[in-house]
Amino acid sequence: MNKFSVNLTINDIPVTVPEGTTILEAAKKLDFRIPTLCYHEDLCVAGNCRVCVVEQVGAKALVAACATPVAEGMCIHTNSATVRTARKTIIQLLLSEHNADCTKCYKNGNCELQNLAHEYRVGEHVFIDLINERRLTIDDLSPSIIKDDSKCIRCQRCVRTCHDIQGVSALAVAYKGDHQKISTFLDHPLVEVVCTNCGQCINRCPVGALVEKTNIEEVWDAINDPTKHVVVQTAPAVRVAIGEELGYDPGERLTGKMVTALRRLGFNSVLDTDFTADLTILEEGTELLTRLKKVLVDKDETVALPMTTSCSPGWVKFIEHTFPEFLPNVSTCKSPQQMFGALAKTYYATKKGLKAQDVCVVSIMPCTAKKYEANRPEMRSSGYKDVDYVLTTRELGTMIKQAGINFRNLEESHYDSLMGDSTGAGVIFGATGGVMEAALRTVYEIVTGREVPFKNLNILPVRGIEGVREATIKIEGCQPEWGFLEGVEVSCAVAHSLANAKKLMEAVKAGLVNYHFIEIMACPGGCLGGGGQPIPTSAEIRNKRSQAIYNEDAGLPLRKSHDNPEVKILYEEFLGAPNSHKAHTLLHTHYTPRKRY
């Protein structure tokens, strides 16, 4: 028996747990669920909604189960009459300041407050409706996020997300008392502040106060427009999470069924962002090698190292705001989504005999920042908006339900050809460390002519959940043209979630660390934990999605981006070579320094 264990009883059942365990966790161990609203396992404890209050025998008041550590001999009752009355009253109080127009709410059916109201059968409104007394605003100016203060229950999960996980603090608690609210700086719209559109707040909002700006209707209109050829691309992380929207447990790989479902929705062609993920590796890998050569051989001081990835639009907006001096370090490669859009309206359109203006590109993304990215003015290199509409994984789930598709019974099918092929390297883009791993698989082979020296190509040091991970690969036995890299230890770092990214970049800035290549994903776990993924999220759920991604990779016949046959054809027939002039025009971009303050 651990000497730091604590004995207590919960609902008269004895339990022994380690010191420091909260009542909530101890109850869970006994399979007693205590309802919560402000509590979220990804975040620091707030203890402010008070829904989780329980009775501690001998205490004069109820205690918050999420915030109270166990103590020796404690007697807890989680469902006494006192507890039930208090809990029900608290739920009624929350409803009295909540715009409880549930049938019109975007979150109807996936709202934690609604669930609790149902569970506790709150019945008629006892209290006076406070919602009409305030001038509560809706901020729908962002292309990614809608913030509706009338729905907000002030649990502060979003504030803690923005601070603890992302280190951004675009959202903060403002004012006090009856005027207290969640606010940006001076209540400016989200588009005017440092918000990165990552959507992590959406993932954790228990109600409908923070939701994505939906484009479902626009996409239906495009599908129904006979003059449009609607192409859909699906990001790597969508296939391992869409199931959660459709009643599956987390971690189901549903690529084939999803492709069939997309076809049934009426898309003219179902293609894969993984294709352009592979393409990204060739472009970005070549860019990295070029930078290394310029620095190591040409001693060109204008070339910046370490090079960082650029696939995550939340990260890109973050660095534009927070470290604008490092913008030359960001790979000029567009994200796979945008490479896809640019090619769909040029290469694809030509091959299919279509006019660019008749091609409509829809992306299914695990991400809300992708909606913002698609709207960037730089993203029109086809002469048109390269990606017309971006839907989140959640919105795709909604469309499948709207279309009445019995997803479970669908047959599996393959992506269409021409930008539908992919390798395992493209798939792992969806997990933190995946871009790094994919890039190393390709770069090492380009330079040495041999596969990366890791068993089954699995570069385990860059995988995992630690916020910042490092790896070095010594390059030996170079091909003649890469002789300058002989013996070089390529040093890499991987960070996910922006708070970790900030730490890493501060260390780079201070000269404490030296890397050649850095992969950064804005969201915890990478894209699989993106702001457009199914709600709820937790470390466990993200871990299951991650396993699914790596299983998908392991099961594919091709696992190195440079082996992608359609990518080879694309270079042969259209782009020439990686980083060619044409590739630069269509596949690369530039960045805009923005103010943090």
Partner 1 sequence: MLDVQKIIEDVTQVYGKSRTALMPILQAVVKERNYLEDKEMIAVAKALDLSPAEVFGTASFYTFLDTVPRGKYCIRVCKTISCHMAGKDEIIKALEDTLRIKVGETTVDKQFTLMTANCLGWCHKGPVMLINDEVYPELTPQRAIEIVNGYRRENAG
Partner 2 sequence: MEIENTRPKRVDFIFNKEGIDPLKVVEKTIQRNPDDIILDMIDSGLKGRGGAGFPTGLKWKFTKNEDSPVKYVICNADEGEPGTFKDREILDQVPEKVFSGLSICGYTVGAREGFIYLRGEYNFLLKSLNEKLKRFNDGLKKMGLDFTIQMRSGSGAYICGEESALFESMEGYRGEPRNKPPYPTVAGYLGKPTAINNVETLVYACMICQFGPEKFREIGTRDSRGSKVFSVSGDTPKAGIHELELGMTVQQFVEEFGDGDTKAVQVGGASGGCVPRKNFKDTIIGYEGIPTGGSMMLFNSSRSMYNVLHDYLEFFTEESCGQCTPCRVGCQQLLKGIEAVKRGERPPAYLEDLKKLAATMKLSAKCGLGQSVANPFVSIVNNFREEIIY
Q: Should residue 183 be labelled a site residue for partner 1 when binding is judged by CB under 8 A?
A: yes
* 261 within 8 A of 391, measured Cβ to Cβ: no
Q: Is 489 part of the annotated catalytic residue set?
A: no
The question of whether 373 is a catalytic residue gets the answer: yes
Quote the least distance from Cβ 46 to partner 1, whole Å.
15
> What is the radius of gyration, based on Cα positions, of the chain?
25
Query: Distance between terminal CA atoms of the chain?
Result: 53
Confirm if 26 and 91 have CB atoms less than 8 A apart: no
Residue 465, φ and ψ in degrees, nearest 5: -115, -5
d(CA 367, CA 228): 25
Q: Which is nearer to partner 2, 89 or 538 (CB)?
A: 89
Q: Peptide bond before 536: cis, by omega within 30 degrees of 0?
A: yes
Sorted by sequence, the CB contacts under 8 Å of residue 585 that are 6+ apart come out as 381
SS3 sequence, 243-284? HHHCCCCCCCCCHHHHHHHHHHHCCCEEEEHHHHHHHHHHHH
CA–CA–CA angle 358, 364, 369 (5° rounding): 105
Instruction: Give me the least distance between CB of 164 and partner 2, in Å please.
Output: 14
Nearer to partner 2, 175 or 357 (CB): 175
Residues of this chain that interact with partner 2 (CB under 8 A) are: 45-51, 53, 61-62, 64, 67-69, 82, 85-86, 89-90, 93-94, 96-97, 126-128, 130, 153-154, 156, 173, 175-180
CA angle 54, 67, 29 (to 5 degrees): 70
Judged by beta carbon, residue 65 or residue 194, the one nearer partner 1 is 194
Q: Does 597 bind partner 1 (CB under 8 A)?
A: yes
Q: Name residues contacting partner 1, limited to 187-216 (CB under 8 A).
A: 193-194
Catalytic entry in 112, 287, 320, 437? 287
Q: Which does 194 bind (CB under 5 to 8 A by kind): partner 2, partner 1, none?
A: partner 1
From 311, 333, 367, 492, active-site residue: 311
- Active-site residue among 317, 335, 527, 552? 527
173 touches partner 1 (CB under 8 A):
yes
Rounded least distance, CB 163 to partner 1, Å: 8
- Smallest distance, Å, CB 76 to partner 2? 15
Among 106, 120, 185, 484, binds partner 1 (CB under 8 A): 185
Using CB distances below 5 to 8 A depending on partner kind, what does residue 597 bind out of partner 2, partner 1, none? Answer: partner 1
Q: Work out how close the CB of 24 gets to partner 2 at its nearest, in angstroms, rounded to a whole number.
A: 12
Residues 6+ apart with CB under 8 A from 341: 361, 363, 374, 379, 382, 385, 386, 387
**Total number of residues that touch partner 1 (CB under 8 A):** 18
The catalytically annotated residue of 331, 381, 497, 561 is: 331
Catalytic, 311? Answer yes
Among 208, 540, 241, 184, which Cα is nearest to 367's?
A: 241
Annotated active-site residue 331? The verdict is: yes
Nearer to partner 2, 124 or 411 (CB): 124
Instruction: Compare residues 155 and 418 and give the one whose CB is closer to partner 1.
Output: 155
The Cα-based distances of 411 to 115, 263, 414, 553 in angstroms read 34, 12, 10, 21
Distance CA 414, CA 256 (A): 6
What is the distance between the alpha carbons of residues 491 and 505, in angstroms, rounded to a whole number?
Answer: 15
Cβ closest to partner 2, residue 89 vs residue 479: 89
Q: Tell whether residue 510 is a contact of partner 1 (CB under 8 A).
A: no
Measured CA to CA, the distance from residue 83 to residue 594 in angstroms comes to 50
Q: Which residue has the tokens 């050569």?
A: 293
Q: How far is the CB of 154 from partner 2 (least distance, A)?
A: 7
Q: How far is CA 209 from the centre of its chain?
A: 19
Give the nearer residue to partner 2 in terms of CB position, either 106 or 120: 120
276 binds partner 1 (CB under 8 A): no
Residues involved in catalysis: 284, 287, 311, 331, 370, 373, 378, 527
Binding site residues, partner 1, CB under 8 A: 163, 168-176, 183-186, 193-194, 596-597
